[in-house]
Amino acid sequence: MSIRYIDEIGKLSGKRIFIRVDFNVPQDDSGAITEDTRISGAVATIRYALDQGARVVLASHLGRPKGEKKPKYTMAPATKRLSELLGTEVKQAPDCFGPKVDSLIAALQPGEAVMLENVRFYAGEEKNDPDFAAKLANGCEIYINDAFAVSHRAHASVAAITTFIPTIAAGFLMRNEMTFFDKAMQNPVRPLVAILGGAKVSGKLEVLETLINKVDKVVIGGGMAFTFLKAMGYDVGKSLVEDELLATATKIMDRANERGVRFYLPVDCVAAEAFDAAATNFVKPVQEIPAGWMALDIGPATATLFAESLRDAKTVIWNGPMGVFEMDAFCRGTYLVAEAVADCFATTIIGGGDTDSAVRKAGVEKRVSYISTGGGAFLELLEGKILPGVKALDVP
C-alpha cells in the first residue's frame, strides 16, 4: 500500500482540510474529561495544519448515541480541551452539516479550526452512507485521517468520505501507529515476545493464530489463560473458561511447540471465592484452585516467570491485562508485568484499550516505547487485516 502523510502533500495554506480525529475520550458524570491521550495525540497534526495556514474542519465521534442527538455525547468538552492544548480557540459547530455549520466553515480564516458535532448523532456514519459522507466533505479540498483507533470501522467519516475529497492522506498519529506496528510485526528485532491477556480466548483467537507464526515467545495471562490450563487437564474451579475452545487451545499450544515458540502460562494465581473486590482470596498454585473458587489475577511466581521471559527480549507487544486490574485486590499481577515491560531493553508496544489504562495506572507509561491509541484497531492489525480506514488512504 502507498499512503501519503500530511507533510507530503504540498501546500496547505488557504486550503479547507477535513481532519478525522478520534476524541472518544472517557468522561466523568459531570462531563469532565478524565483522560485526554487521544486528544493530545492528534495535536501535532492539527497544529501543523494550522501553522501551514489551513482552514481546518475537525470531526470525531464520542460514545454510542446510536444515530440520535444526545447532549451527553456532545463534542463540546473535547473541543474545549483541544483549544487548551493548542493554545488557540477551536470553534464548536452546532451540528455536522446545515446552514449554520456552512456559515461557520465559510468564515474560517487561515489558521483557524472548527469541530463538527458528534458524527454518530447520524445513523449514516456507522452505515458508511455516501450521502452523509458527502455532507461532511462540504467542499473540503484535503482529507486527513488521524483517527487510528476507529480505522478498523468502515464508517462514513473514515471510508466513504475519501471518495468526495480530491486529496487524501494520513496524520502524524497514524504514521506513528503504522511505524511502530511495522517495527513489531514486519521487521522486528528478535527475540519478539507477545504478551496477551484479557478475559477470553475467543476475542484474541485470530491474533493468537497469527502471532504463533511470527513470535519467539508467547506469554498468556488474564482470564483467557484458564482455557489453556483446563485444556492441559488442570481443574481450574470456577475460573473463566471457554469450553468450546479447549480443542483450539490445544492446537495453538501444539503449533507453538512445533515452531519452537516458548509458551508461558500462569503457575500460580490469586483465587477468590467470588467475583468481588471484597471476596476472600489467597495465592494458590494453578493446580490447587479450590472447588467453587475462581482465579482473578496472576500470582507473584507467575509475575516473576513472565518478567524472566522478557529478559532477553528485543521487541515486546502487550495487549490485555493479567487480571481484573480494575479491582485493587486483583491488580498487582498486571502492575508487576507493566513494570517488567517498562524495564525491558527492548522496543515495547502497548496495544491500547485496557492495557493502556493499566500501564498508566501502574505509572510506567513514560518508560515504554509506544502506547497505541486503538485497542480494536491494534488487534486487527495483529491479525494481519488491512483496516478499512487505512485501505481508504491507499494512493494508486
So which residues are the catalytic ones? 38, 200, 353, 376
Cell output for 257: 511447540
Which neighbouring-strand residues pair with 194?
Answer: 218, 317
- Amino acid code (one letter) for 364: V
- Give the Cα separation of 271 and 156 in Å (integer): 46
Q: CA-based Rg of the chain, rounded to a whole angstrom?
A: 23
- Give the Cα separation of 212 and 262 in Å (integer): 10
- Amino acid code (one letter) for 27: Q
Helices (H), the chain: 37-51, 76-86, 99-106, 123-126, 130-137, 172-181, 205-211, 225-231, 246-259, 300-309, 332-342, 353-361, 375-382, 388-391
Cell output for 384: 494481519
Q: Residues near 209 by Cβ (< 8 Å), separated by ≥ 6?
A: 252, 255
| 3 state DSSP class of 333 | helix
Cell numbers 495525540 correspond to what residue?
Answer: 41
Residue 57 DSSP class: E
